[in-house]
Amino acid sequence: MSPTRQEIFSPGILNIFGAKARARSAYTEEARALTALSRKRGVCERCRKFKARCDMPDSIYEPCRRCSLVVTGVLRQPCIRVNLVDISLHRIGSTKDSALDGWMRSQQTLQIVNGVVGTGHRTLLLTQDFGFELEVTVARYNAGVGDKVSYPWRDASGVAREYKMPPYYMINFEDTKQAMVEYNRRSFVSYIQRNLRDKNPIVWMTFQAAIRHSTKSQSPLVRNALLFWSGARLIERPWRLCGTDTLGLSPNEDIDSPWYGTVPVTPIMDTQLDHLVIDCLLIPLRQRILAQLFDKILKKKKEDWFEIYLAMFVVMYNMERNFAYVLFFTSYYGVMGKFGSRGTSSLSESFIHACKTMLAYFHYVYNGAAILSSPLEKSSLTMPEEQYAYIQALQKERTRQGDDLTLLKDKSMYETDMYWCHQLLFKDCQVEKQNEKEIDELQEEDYLMHSEDD
């Protein structure tokens, strides 16, 4: 029989409750420090659920120690402190503010005031020498203070020179936007073939596999990645006039000039073309690609692996071209590009963050390199034939290249083909460890060519 309440609380009796409860030990200084660190770095979803200490590493790109020991497929949410959908994949140029839009409105107002609306328009054909042409309509404007009407460059002796251009700018922007989208749709395969034919065999075979897969499976993710890659080339290569109307200019005859033998578009047209490509191609494609990648990676379906891998490779190789373009741009336009230690807010800093974030999601969230690191037995696999054939060819080529691949991270990310892409191929990739001792300090504004103040 259970004791009565009176018996329990009888005078002279010592009552001890919870005698079997485990006593909580006092905090040590080490425990206090770890708790403070957890508050600072945050706690992942899995550790919070099990009320366990979350030992987040210094790197924001790596999972906590507890989650890193779990099979990747078990984790429902990425245990890393970076967001894939927010990363930068391209420069934003004049879309950063409304300066170009304001300048164009002012020109339209001046045309109305001067009574020259609809007069003096000229139709030009532009090309980047890949077998395709873009038709645009231009009008003359009165260059004001701050309007750039020449290109800077340096001759073989390092002397600063300039190439003067007549003041023409593009009009009918909405029509040109549609023409640009169509231009990219028609030409993207040609841009890929012409640019990559002499690159690393792994790059070539992967892009060819992506083109075939986007056509055969009608994958919007892979196709968007390919269109994004070719679209990004449109803001790298210079445009030139290729029709009968060359604004009264003859091809440049200075053999040291970057424009030797050609007639380039005017500086304001160059900025307008970049604006069009960024606004109507790169920005919307970037949003779609990252949203689609994020969704497929978190679903962790095996049948999505090939799409995820191909899209990641294509986008990552675009980042490599971004870094290579820094060297081309500073040389081509005679811009002095500073290279210094980490810590600046340069455009390249944001690209490094983007590459690390993509690698973190591919390796730590999706475990994407696992299938590339194991021998394949065709009889035990259910993957499509095209995927099996690609992996077999890739593994063979990776073995052939050997240390040439594994030592790429010791080289310059500005000058090394496959610096970032090869890191998708190895399961033991260390995302945080990169050769980033000296990074350029170029800002978005340094790439704008239409204003004397830029």
**26-54 pLDDT, tens digit each:** 557 665 655 665 566 667 767 777 777 77
Report the distance separating Cα 351 and Cα 346, nearest Å: 9
pLDDT score of 449 more than 60: no
Average pLDDT over residues 123-144: 95
Average pLDDT (297-304) is 92
β-pair type (122-127, 240-241): antiparallel
How far apart are alpha carbons 391 and 367 in whole angstroms? 16
**pLDDT at position 454, please?**
41
CB contact at 8 A, 418 and 202: yes
- 411 with 417: CB under 8 angstroms? no
Cα angle 320, 325, 331; round to 5: 145
Share of the chain above pLDDT 90, in %: 52
Asked if residue 7 has pLDDT above 80, the reply is: no
| Main-chain dihedrals φ then ψ at residue 264, nearest 5 degrees | -75, 165
pLDDT tier, 379 (very low <50, low <70, confident <90, very high otherwise): low
What is the phi/psi pair of residue 267, to 5°?
-55, -40
Say yes or no to pLDDT of 183 above 90. yes
Distance of CA 298 to the CA centre of its chain: 20
Spatial separation of the C-alpha atoms in residues 53 and 146, rounded to whole Å:
58
C-alpha closest to that of 188 among 227, 216, 157, 224: 227
Q: What is the mean pLDDT of the chain?
A: 85
> How many CB atoms sit inside 10 A of residue 44's CB?
22
Which of 131-140, 181-190, 292-301, 372-381 is predicted least confidently?
A: 372-381
253: its two tokens = 């005859």
Q: Which residue has the tokens 């095996």?
A: 302
Alpha carbon distance 166, 149 (integer Å):
7
Mean pLDDT, residues 311-315: 99
Q: Which residue has the higher pLDDT, 429 or 77?
A: 429
d(CA 410, CA 432): 13
Of the candidates 13, 67, 18, the residue with the CA atom closest to the CA atom of residue 44: 67
Distance CA 368, CA 305 (A): 7
Higher pLDDT residue, 263 or 48? Answer: 263
Q: How far apart are CA 43 and CA 51, in angstroms?
A: 10
The DSSP bridge partners found for residue 147 are 451
User: What is the mean predicted confidence (pLDDT) over 143-149?
Assistant: 88
- At residue 215, does pLDDT exceed 60? yes
Asked whether 336 and 155 are in contact (CB, 8 A), the reply is no
Return the axis-axis angle of helices 283-299 and 220-233, rounded to nearest 10°.
140
* Residue 343, pLDDT score: 54
Q: CB neighbours (10 Å) of residue 342?
A: 11
The model's confidence at residue 387, banded by pLDDT at 50, 70 and 90, is very high
Per this entry, what is the length of the chain?
Answer: 454
Q: What pLDDT sits at residue 451? A: 44
In whole angstroms, what is the distance from residue 168 CA to residue 140 CA?
Answer: 4
Q: How far is the C-alpha of 184 from the C-alpha of 281, rounded, in Å?
A: 9
Residue 83 has pLDDT above 80, yes or no: yes
What average pLDDT score do residues 230-240 get? 95
Q: What distance in Å separates the CA atoms of residue 54 and residue 39, rounded to the nearest whole number?
A: 10
Residue 139: CA count within 13 A, CB half-sphere: 16
Amino acid letter for position 85:
V
Contact assessment for residue 231 and residue 285, using Cβ atoms and an 8 Å cutoff: yes
The 8 Å CB, 24+ separation contacts for 103-108 are: 103/450, 104/169, 104/173, 107/139, 107/141, 107/169
C-alpha span between 92 and 94 (Å, rounded): 6
Torsion angles phi and psi, residue 175, rounded to 5: -65, -40
Pairing state between β 160-164 and 168-171: unpaired
- H or E stretch covering 287: helix 283-299
Pick the more confident residue, 362 or 145.
362
Q: How far is the C-alpha of 272 from the C-alpha of 99, rounded, in Å?
A: 11
Residue 119 burial (10 A CB sphere; 0-12, 13-18, 19+): exposed
CB 307 within 8 A of CB 219: yes
Under DSSP, the state recorded for 322 is: H
Residue 452 has pLDDT above 50, yes or no: no
* Percent of residues, the chain, with pLDDT higher than 70: 82
pLDDT for residue 76:
55
The H or E element containing residue 160 is strand 160-164
Predicted local distance difference test score (pLDDT) of residue 2: 53
The H or E element spanning position 137 is strand 133-140
**Residue 78 banded pLDDT, cuts 50, 70, 90:** low
124-151 mean pLDDT = 93
Inform me whether the pLDDT recorded for 296 exceeds 90.
Answer: yes
